[in-house]
Chains A and B, each alone.
Chain A
Amino acid sequence: DIQMTQSPSSLSASVGDRVTITCRASQNISNYLNWYQQKPGKAPKLLIYAGSTLQSGVPSRFSGSGSGTDFPLTINSLQPEDFTTYYCQQSYRAPWTFGQGTKVEIK
């Protein structure tokens, strides 16, 4: 199975900050990388797919990039509603696997 590792596991930031979360795959997954946001008690929500394509309705302050094994997710100008948990997921080869999650907390 392809292992996905996110870093950091958590981070503290302030409203207006720019933050970057990184996802690393255990092997080359081309751009088959998706990002989800999950708020407490809710289902995950798709933010970005195919490494860098913003899902419809997602604010443009979210951006993804990368190809191969390393994929950064950047949130520009953090808003209060962005303080929550983010997961990456590879869709290159089944079984689809997720990173362990990154919790973005308010400093």
Chain B
Amino acid sequence: QVQLVESGGGLVKPGGSLRLSCAASGFTFSDYYMTWIRQAPGKGLEWVSYISSSGSNIYYADSVKGRFTISRDNAKNSLYLQMNSLRAEDTAVYYCARENPAAAGMIDYWGQGTLVTVSS
């Protein structure tokens, strides 16, 4: 079955960096666009970034552009999110998610999430 397992979250000071990882299994990872979505405590969902199956097409939300970098390693079935210059407002649960190729932007599987807390 499809599994997405995030790791790498934790407590970091403002201005610091963190790298999130997502290990995928149960499907042909290299065939799918992948996405990061976040949810601040008690708030709604915010899409962060997506990367195409080959990694050649990448898109970021304005709120993270220039600070976050999405990447993937299809040989390792892994998705990454490098987060630099972190701010308090980046505090959130970060979900790794798979986009269904039949419908761009439709998220059919989500990981359990990893919490990132930015605080001094």
Assuming the contacts A49-B103, A87-B45, A98-B44, asked whether A55 and B108 have C-beta atoms less than 8 A apart, the reply is yes
Assuming the contacts A91-B103, A94-B59, asked whether A46 and B46 have C-beta atoms less than 8 A apart, the reply is no
Main DSSP-derived SS at the A contact region: loop
Q: Mark B34-66, 1 if CB is under 8 A from A, else 0.
A: 010000000011110010000000010110000
Partner of B111, one of A43, A46, A95, A100: A43
Number of A-B contacts (CB under 8 A): 63
| Complex contacts, A96 vs chain B, CB 8 Å | 35, 47, 50, 105
Question: Is A52 an interface residue when CB atoms closer than 8 A count as contact?
Answer: no
| Interchain CA distance A48-B10 in the complex, whole Å | 33
* A101 lies within 8 A of B44 (CB): yes
Taking residues whose C-beta sits less than 8 angstroms from the other chain, chain B's interface range is 20 to 34
Using CB atoms, name the residue of chain A closest to B60: A95
Partner of B45, one of A32, A49, A98: A98
| Interchain CA distance A55-B14 in the complex, whole Å | 40
Partner of A44, one of B46, B50, B110: B110
Q: Nearest 4 CB-CB pairs, A to B?
A: A91-B105, A43-B110, A98-B45, A96-B47
Task: Mark B residues whose CB is within 8 Å of A.
Answer: 35, 44-47, 50, 59, 61-62, 95, 100, 103-108, 110-113
Task: Mark A residues whose CB is within 8 Å of B.
Answer: 1, 32, 34, 36, 38, 42-46, 49-50, 55, 87, 89-92, 94-101
